[in-house]
Structures are given as C-alpha cells and as structure tokens.
C-alpha cells in the first residue's frame, strides 16, 4: 500500500472554523467546532520534547492520538483529528520520535492493539511539525493501549544519519528504515526476545548527544535496544545494527520502563517487575556507563514489605549533567512520588513533601477530596532541555508541570499546575441535552460523567457522585428535564435536580445488574433498563421495585418517546427489527423491520410518536409510534442520529446524522425533515470514532459529538451562516 497524505485541522485554543470548499457531494455548511472542556481525562503515555528547538514538545496518549504544545498559549494542539472511525486504531500512539537535526520532522508509531480483531499499525510521518501526515502501513501491529504503553521510546531517529529510523515492535522484532520512514525492513540480526509479555522492544537509544548535531552520511555505530524482558533487558550493537549482544553486567529480574542517555554520557534506566502502567510491585533505577561497562544501582527508595511499587518516569536535565527526576509507579499504599538527584543518583530528595499542587480549574482531579495530589500512573516525565526549572509529567488523567523545580536547591517548595489544557481524552458512552437546565450531561468511561453548565469550563462540581468509575448510559425526561437517570458498572442512579445530585437505585433487578442502556419516560415516572448481558427491566418508582419487561430480545437499547410517557421503542441492528411498547415498557411487540447495521433509533423532542432510525441502508422516519417507516434518504447511511432546535422561522427540528455519503464521512444536517442535507465538517476533521450524538433543543445549530478518546466536541454555525 502506498503512503497516504492527510492534513491537520488545527484546534488551537480548542476552536476550529471549518472552511467551505467546493465538494462534489453534500454541500458543507461552515461551522465552528470546539471541545467541551473537561481537560485531560485519560492516560498520558509519553512526552517528547525536541532536543534542539525550544518549546517544541509532543505528547502521546493511549486512545486519544497525539498533541503538540502551542508555547504562546500553553495549550496542546491535537494532531490526529483527521482519523475517522474506520481507522480508529491510529489513535493509540505507541511512540513518537523527533528528528534532532530537523525540527520540522516528526514520526509516530500508531496502532492500538495487537489482538486478532485489530488491524495492523502504521508509521505516521510529518515534515511540518504534524500539520500534515503521510501514512506507511506496517506488516504488524502496535499496542498503543496495551500493557507497557508508557515504556519507551521504541521509535527513534539516528542522530548521525537522520534518514535512518528504528522501531521496536511488540511481537515482530526490530525494524529499520533508511528513507525517513517511507519503507521498512526487519533487522534479522536482532534476537527474538524472551518473556516480554507481548510488550517486546520498548526503546531504541543512541549515545550520541542530540543537541545541535550536524547530520552526517555515516550512521551511528553504537545503538542500544531495551526489551521488556527480565532475562536480557538491554542489548547493544557496535556495528550500526549489524550484530547485537546483551549488555554485560546488567541487572536482571526486572523490566525496563524508560531508557535515556544523559548529557553526562551515562545511560539511565527505570525498571519495574511488570511493564505497567498497572500491577507493578517492584522496581529500581540504574545507570550504565557504556565506555567501561559499569552498572550502578541508584534506586532512591527500595520497594519492600507493604510498600510495593516500581519506577517509571525518567527526566534528565540537559543543562545540568547528573541532574535527574524519576517517578514511582503503582505505589498505592503511600502514594506515588517524584525523586530528584543532582549528583547522578548518589543522593535523592522527594519532591511532593514540600510541593504545592493547583488543579488550575480542573476540579475533578480532586476525586471528591479536599485537595489534589500528584496523581497516579506517572509513566513519563521530562525536564525541559532549555530550562532546568520546567518539568512536565503525565498521569492517568492529566499533565502536571512546574516552572520552579530548582527551588528545591534552596530549600523552597515547588509549585505545580495542571498543564493539560487543550487535551481532551475521555471516552464518551452517551450524551443528553435537556430542554431546560444544563445544556449538556454526559456519560463516560473512567470518570462517570459531567453536568456542564458552561461548555468551555471544566465543571466546578467535578464528575458525578457517587463516583463509580464508568457510566454507560444517561437519559433525561423529555417533559421533566430535572429528572435524569444513568447506568453504571454496578447499578444506576436518579437525579431530581437536573444532574446536580444523584441517588443510587435502592434495589437492582439482579444482584450483578449494571452498565447497559436505560431510558426514562417523558414524565420521568418510568425507567426501562437493559443492563449488560441481562434482560430488560422497568421500574415505576425510581428503582425501589422492578418488573421484567417482555418481548425484547436481549441487549437492545430502549428509547423513550419524548412526549408520550406510555411509549418506548427499540431497534435491533442485527436484523433491522423494530419494537414498540405502549404500556410504559412492560410489554414490547415487533412492529416492523428496516435495514440492519450498526445504527441507532432516536425520538424527537416535542413530537409524539415520531421515531427515526439511521442504519446501513439510509435514514428512516415514522410518525405513528414506529409502526411504519418511510425511507427519508438512502444517500446518507450512518451510525448515530439526534435532533436539535429548529432553524429560526421553522417548526421542524434539525436532524443530525453521524455517517457517510459515499466516501464522504462526517456529521450531516437537515433542516427540513430530511429533504436536503449539508455536511458540517471538512474532510480532515473526523473526530476519530464517534460514539454519541446529541442535538441541543434550545440553541439552533448546536450539536454535541461524543468520541472514544477525544472527549466531547460541540459545533455551531459560523458567524454569518445562521442556517
């Protein structure tokens, strides 16, 4: 497959104005797109500063793609929003490499999983700092969201001959490119690693200093490769990769996590007994002098007894040889720590006892506590190559940074702020936009969901309480918007105040009922719930008692009529069957059949009995409580459908579809009941994988998009394009 070129649409300041180029297909309506602000919300797997250009810093995530820092605003610019749902695996960034001789060149190893059902990975290449990308498909898979995803970096540019790149795979050995990553071949001389738990080769490093290096035609002779193996972690080549041998005298029994050369000529390594970011119970920090083969144990604190943990993040001060910072990993009992040394690891100071942490408006990071701590899953950290005071480190939820690290040298505290502005990495499962109250309620993985009163501010109340870790569904009563219901991992909850506070269901229909999909009736007096891997149940007393519903196949998602409290509906994407209940969800009957596919059924606020379905065959509409459907269009097929406020002067709600027309993908809108459609996004803004869609019933043109790894977007008509 030949390389493919894609272009970046910048979301600087989290804002995007889509142009209106001439398309052969559906017309494009100019729209402003922004992220709904949560800030972070996912694992920061790696931070990669350019060694020779100030303020050029990249970040990689496990499910949300990659970002580049805008130094003027200290916000992160997303670099992979051109990825569409069919290429979702490219949003798991396994590694990033910069060309130390050319700040414009950057490379990424992209691919989320090595499972049988996941596609092969790709090397992404850019010669303009990530504004555009070329894609080289690889004959193997990367694991950007697998065990060991914060190890690294496994992709590297030879500083002496920057046309040469190496990438370490998880299951397919070491690979090399001699043409800036366009083509690749296996390094057959590299041995097959033992006992890597499918993490494989985690880092390629060169001992050559990487600041202000003139490129030469001769490749580096000495190369090191780190393997996630307790039996032979570090390998060395002295002949430009022609042959390899284990580094002599190295410590065994642990797996390397981060491997970096310092300006003092020593190779520094952090270790854990597992690859992380979880289940690490032992670890160490070592340094290695390649010229003599000397190994020195510089571990700050040895794990022991009930204080079990590993080491992961590793930052080296390019301005001050021998100064470094390391992080613990999985120190759950006493909380993780950052340690700093100014003498090559001979002595250490813990940072957090005298540090202050300011969540900087990102209240959910308190996790319901009075104040924040330094976080968990600290897989990578970096000291700014040009500023010894400046440090960034990633956690399972955000990026923290300081501008006064050297205050430690004077016995003063360091001050840390959240530095993840612009990064939105939540995985959204459901969205709801009530007819009154907050404009947006959300459900998501890991941090439940939020009530957004202001779309551009991370909610001061934090995430929903009780905090359960994962919400799968949320719904608002169509005629009583104060009443909201949500389902989560081990149950569900009801709110009577528009999502401000929540009361868990007093009982469950089954002891292990949780997740799945629920719907609440128009008046808020009935909840119909299909828990994961369970039958459908209903409650007429907000969870005090439950009745088993009849007539629905397992695992269908019930949907309530937005006006008539007696009606509920369901669509079976496996065969296109449609079901309806006129008795509040107690009994469902099959009414008709439309097309199969990964589609969705939705009801229209303000209109009794109006039901729409989008599927692989098109868009279908019913006005008789889902008994008969009319094909609105077969040109647009899709996966999600929603309704929003009508255009000025119209009584017809706006219809939004996430889908495609031929080769065009994106968000399509109709203002006249499906006769005419326009597209709201350009080709190079595809939102990664769209998992939820909601129209705003109060603001014309506003639509919300939930994604699997890029948080929530919202779009509104550009100024001067009210329709």
- Position 343 scores a pLDDT of 99
446 annotated active-site: yes
Round the average pLDDT of the chain to a whole number and report it: 95
Q: Percentage of the chain with pLDDT > 70? A: 95
pLDDT in tens, 285-309: 999 999 999 999 999 999 999 999 9
Is 279 within a domain?
A: no
CB 81 within 8 A of CB 187: no
Average pLDDT over residues 208-223: 74
DSSP string over 596-620: -SS-EEEE-TT-TT-EEEEETTEEE
Is 606 within a domain?
A: yes
Is 217 within a domain?
A: no
Is 599 within a domain?
A: yes
Backbone angles phi, psi at 354, to 5 degrees: -110, 5
62 annotated active-site: yes
Among 55, 70, 373, 446, which one carries the catalytic annotation? 446
Whether pLDDT at 324 is above 90: yes
- Position 214 scores a pLDDT of 59
List the one residue out of 95, 204, 225 whose CA is nearest residue 159: 204
What total of structural domains would you count in the chain? 1
Whether pLDDT at 439 is above 60: yes
Among 62, 273, 448, 475, which one carries the catalytic annotation? 62
Q: Rounded to two decimals, what is the model's pTM?
A: 0.95
Strand duo 4-7 + 132-137: pairing = antiparallel
* Angle formed at CA 486 by CA 612 and CA 278, multiple of 5 degrees: 115
Query: 3-class DSSP state for residue 445?
Result: strand
Distance (Å, whole) CA 397 – CA 332: 16
Query: 3-class DSSP state for residue 365?
Result: helix
Whether pLDDT at 2 is above 80: no
Which of 598 and 236 is assigned the larger pLDDT?
236
Q: Supply the CATH number for residue 510's domain.
A: 2.130.10.10
- Position 12 scores a pLDDT of 33
Is 453 within a domain?
A: yes
Is 331 within a domain?
A: no
Is 459 within a domain?
A: yes
Distance (Å, whole) CA 583 – CA 698: 30
Band (15; pLDDT cuts 50, 70, 90): very low
Is 104 within a domain?
A: no
Domain containing 548: what range? 428-717
């Amino acid at each position: 497959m030949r390389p493919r070129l894609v272009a970046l649409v910048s979301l600087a300041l989290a804002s995007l104005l889509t142009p209106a180029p001439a398309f052969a297909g559906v017309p494009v309506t100019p729209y402003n797109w922004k992220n709904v602000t949560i800030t972070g919300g996912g694992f920061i797997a790696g931070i990669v500063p350019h060694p020779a250009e100030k303020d050029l810093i990249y970040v990689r995530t496990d499910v949300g793609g990659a970002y580049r820092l805008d130094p003027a605003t200290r916000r992160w610019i997303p670099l992979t929003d051109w990825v569409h749902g069919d290429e979702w695996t490219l949003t798991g960034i396994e590694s990033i490499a910069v060309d130390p001789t050319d700040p414009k060149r950057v490379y990424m190893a992209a691919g989320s999983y090595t499972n049988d059902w996941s596609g092969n990975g790709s090397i992404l290449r850019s010669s303009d700092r990530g504004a555009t990308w070329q894609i080289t498909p690889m004959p193997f898979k990367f694991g950007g969201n697998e065990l060991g995803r914060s190890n690294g970096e496994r992709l590297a540019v030879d500083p002496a001959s920057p046309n040469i790149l190496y990438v370490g795979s998880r299951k397919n050995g070491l690979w090399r490119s001699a043409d800036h990553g366009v083509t690749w071949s296996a390094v057959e001389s590299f041995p097959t690693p033992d006992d890597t738990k499918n993490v494989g080769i985690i880092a390629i490093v060169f001992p050559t200093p990487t600041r202000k290096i003139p490129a030469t035609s001769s490749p580096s002779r000495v190369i090191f490769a780190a393997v996630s193996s307790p039996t032979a972690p570090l390998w060395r080549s002295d002949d430009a990769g022609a042959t390899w041998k284990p580094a002599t005298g190295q410590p065994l029994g642990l797996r390397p996590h981060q491997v970096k050369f310092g300006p003092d000529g020593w190779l520094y390594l952090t270790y854990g007994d597992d690859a992380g970011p979880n289940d690490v119970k032992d670890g160490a920090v070592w340094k290695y002098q390649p010229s003599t083969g000397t190994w020195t144990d510089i571990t700050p604190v040895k794990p022991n007894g009930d204080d079990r943990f590993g080491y992961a993040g590793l930052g080296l001060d390019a301005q001050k040889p021998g100064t470094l910072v390391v992080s613990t990993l999985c120190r759950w009992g006493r909380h993780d720590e950052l340690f700093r040394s100014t003498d090559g690891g001979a002595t250490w100071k813990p940072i957090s006892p005298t540090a202050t942490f300011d969540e900087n408006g990102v209240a959910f990071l308190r996790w319901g506590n009075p104040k924040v701590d330094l976080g968990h899953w600290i897989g990578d950290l970096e000291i700014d190559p040009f500023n010894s005071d400046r440090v960034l480190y990633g956690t399972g939820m955000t990026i923290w940074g300081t501008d006064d690290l050297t205050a430690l040298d004077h016995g003063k505290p360091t001050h840390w702020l959240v530095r993840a502005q612009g990064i939105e990495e939540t995985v959204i499962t459901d969205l709801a936009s009530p007819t009154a109250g907050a404009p947006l309620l959300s459900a998501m993985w890991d941090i439940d969901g939020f009530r957004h009163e202001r779309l551009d501010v991370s909610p001061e109340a934090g995430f929903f309480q009780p905090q359960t870790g994962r919400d799968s569904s949320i719904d608002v009563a169509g005629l009583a918007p104060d009443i909201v219901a949500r389902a989560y991992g081990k149950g569900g909850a009801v709110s009577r105040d528009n999502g401000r506070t929540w009361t868990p269901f007093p009982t469950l229909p089954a002891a292990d009922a949780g997740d799945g999909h629920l719907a609440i009736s128009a008046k808020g007096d009935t909840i119909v719930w299909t828990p994961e891997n369970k039958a459908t149940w209903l409650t007429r007393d907000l969870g005090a008692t439950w009745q088993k519903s009849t007539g629905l196949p397992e695992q269908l998602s019930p949907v309530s009529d937005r006006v008539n409290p007696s009606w509920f509906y369901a669509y079976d994407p496996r065969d296109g069957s449609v079901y309806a209940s006129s008795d509040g969800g107690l009994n469902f009957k099959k009414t008709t059949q439309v097309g199969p596919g990964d589609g969705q059924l939705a009801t229209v606020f303000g209109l009794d009995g109006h039901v729409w379905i989008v599927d692989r065959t098109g868009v279908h509409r019913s006005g008789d409580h889902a008994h008969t459907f009319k094909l609105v269009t077969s040109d647009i097929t899709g996966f999600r459908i929603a309704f929003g406020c009508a255009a000025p002067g119209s009584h017809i709600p706006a219809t939004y579809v996430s889908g495609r027309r031929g080769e065009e993908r994106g968000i399509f809108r109709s203002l006249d009941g499906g006769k005419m459609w326009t597209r709201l996004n350009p080709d190079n803004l595809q939102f990664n994988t769209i998992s939820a869609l909601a129209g705003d019933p109060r603001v014309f043109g506003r639509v919300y998009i939930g994604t699997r790894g890029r948080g929530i977007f919202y779009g509104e008509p550009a100024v001067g394009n009210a329709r």
